[in-house]
Amino acid sequence: MKVIIAAVLGLLLLNSTGMVQAEKATIDVPFDSVGTSCWYDEVKIEYHCTWEGMNQVFTVEDLMEYKSVLSNELYDQEIERLNNEALEQIALEREKLTPNEKIIADIGLKLDRGIATASDSVLRNLLLDLDKCYQGMDRTAAIQTYREFEISGFKQIESNNVKIEGLLGKIALSIQECKAQKEVFKLAVGYENFLTGNDDYQFSLQDKFTKDIQAVNYDKLHSTTREIDRSAICNNNQFADTQKAHFGCMVLYDGMDEDSIRLENEIRFGTDGKMNYQSQVLDDYMQFMSNYGNKYATAQDKQIQADIAEPIANEWKKSNNFYQNSLK
């Protein structure tokens, strides 16, 4: 802020004899000045002086405006101060940048100076088009652990003929991994409805029998009886039926236990160890033979049956085209 003090002095006066009389005056200026100027108003007969104070903080514009009245030492000090403040502000702004943004800014400076390489340019384009790729989600959750990683949408890596190394190489490999992950997602269609996470619960006796609930009743545990509580085995789906049967559990097959099945087999097939064959057709035939009268047909029986069959056979021959063709 400029502080200006103007002193209005009636310094030049005419005395009674018409002679000009000069008067000296001392003015206390309450600040350090960087320059002064005075002028005389002949009309009002006034002598004006102005002292220009020094700003507490100079801006670049102030320095350019008052360079002619400032000492070289003061001018250089203010220029150095402004440069240091600018560098501090740049450092503060840089701290707000992410690591990738700092790399982009540094490469941008190289491009402005014309010293950036092809690898620098490709890396900058990769960082400007970053994206995310995911695994272990949706249908792949049953076979993969969840993970996300950075890729880039920049497609011109190979056409620039750059070395795949450093951060550039890491992003390039991530792009290839993401392509492979898409193929895994296609092939994992069979795992789409698999339960995962908390829904994928495996039964455990430790969850059922906590420290407050014992698997075996305390009185039974300390009793002298030979009785065994088989419910923990017989009612547990984690044991196979063969194991349950060895333990003495009642195992049902189509609603029947082994004793009932054994009894039914003895009734049907006997206990002599012979394999008997039973057929409903055979039973009907034997029933027919027993009621027919003669077990063995006589010549007269055969002739009777032949007489019955002959008109039927002749009728069939007339209507059968294959038979008629064979006669021709």
pLDDT digits (tens, 9 = 90+) for 62-106: 778 877 777 788 888 888 888 888 888 888 888 888 888 889 988
Q: Which residues of 27-52 are buried (b: 16+ CB within 10 A; e: fewer)?
A: eeeeeeeeeeeeeeeeeeeebebebb
| Residue positions counted in the chain | 328
| Residue at 227 is within a domain | yes
Dihedral (C-alpha) 254, 259, 261, 262: value to the nearest 10 degrees?
160
| Residue at 279 is within a domain | no
- The alpha carbons of the chain give a radius of gyration, in whole angstroms, of 57
> Per-residue confidence at 20, pLDDT binned at 50, 70, 90?
low
> Per-residue confidence at 10, pLDDT binned at 50, 70, 90?
very low
| Residue at 275 is within a domain | no
**Residue written as token pair 């959750």:** 141
Quick check: 108 pLDDT over 70? yes
Quick check: 232 pLDDT over 90? no
Same domain flag for 258 and 305: no
Quick check: 133 pLDDT over 90? yes
* Cβ-Cβ contacts under 8 Å for 203 (sequence gap 6 or more): 237, 238
What pLDDT, on the 0 to 100 scale, is given for residue 172? 92
The per-residue pLDDT for range 165-181, each reduced to its tens digit, is 999 999 999 999 999 99
Check residue 194 and give left, alpha or beta (phi > 0: left; psi -120 to 50: alpha): beta
Quick check: 214 pLDDT over 80? no
Same domain flag for 192 and 232: no
22 phi and psi angles, rounded to 5 deg: -100, 145
| Residue at 283 is within a domain | no
Quick check: 151 pLDDT over 90? yes
Q: What is the pTM of this model?
A: 0.38
How much is the average pLDDT of 232-255?
Answer: 85
Number of domains making up the chain: 4
Residue at which a domain ends, from 91, 107, 128: 91
Check residue 8 and give left, alpha or beta (phi > 0: left; psi -120 to 50: alpha): beta
Query: Other CB atoms closer than 10 Å to residue 191's CB: what's the count?
Result: 15
Same domain flag for 166 and 242: no
Same domain flag for 190 and 103: yes
Report which of 261, 209, 196 is spatially closest to residue 236, judged by C-alpha positions. Answer: 209
Q: Is 39 helix (H, G, I), strand (E, B) or coil?
A: strand
Same domain flag for 146 and 104: yes
What amino acid is encoded at 187 in this protein? Answer: L
What pLDDT, on the 0 to 100 scale, is given for residue 162? 86
| Residue at 103 is within a domain | yes
What are the respective helix, strand and coil percentages of the chain, to the nearest 5?
50, 15, 35
What pLDDT, on the 0 to 100 scale, is given for residue 257? 81
Quick check: 127 pLDDT over 80? yes
Same domain flag for 23 and 75: yes
d(CA 310, CA 155): 92
Same domain flag for 193 and 123: yes
Q: Which residue has the higher pLDDT, 298 or 57?
A: 298
Quick check: 131 pLDDT over 90? yes
Residue at which a domain ends, from 145, 172, 197: 197
How much is the average pLDDT of 140-150?
Answer: 89
Same domain flag for 228 and 185: no
Report which of 135, 114, 134, 124 is spatially closest to residue 167, judged by C-alpha positions. Answer: 124
The per-residue pLDDT for range 175-202, each reduced to its tens digit, is 999 999 999 988 888 787 777 777 777 7
Q: Domain range for residue 147?
A: 97-197
Q: What is the mean pLDDT of the chain?
A: 79
| Residue at 208 is within a domain | no
Same domain flag for 105 and 81: no
Q: Which residue has the higher pLDDT, 59 or 293?
A: 59
What pLDDT, on the 0 to 100 scale, is given for residue 221? 67
How much is the average pLDDT of 200-227?
Answer: 70
Same domain flag for 123 and 181: yes
Residue at which a domain ends, from 169, 197, 225: 197
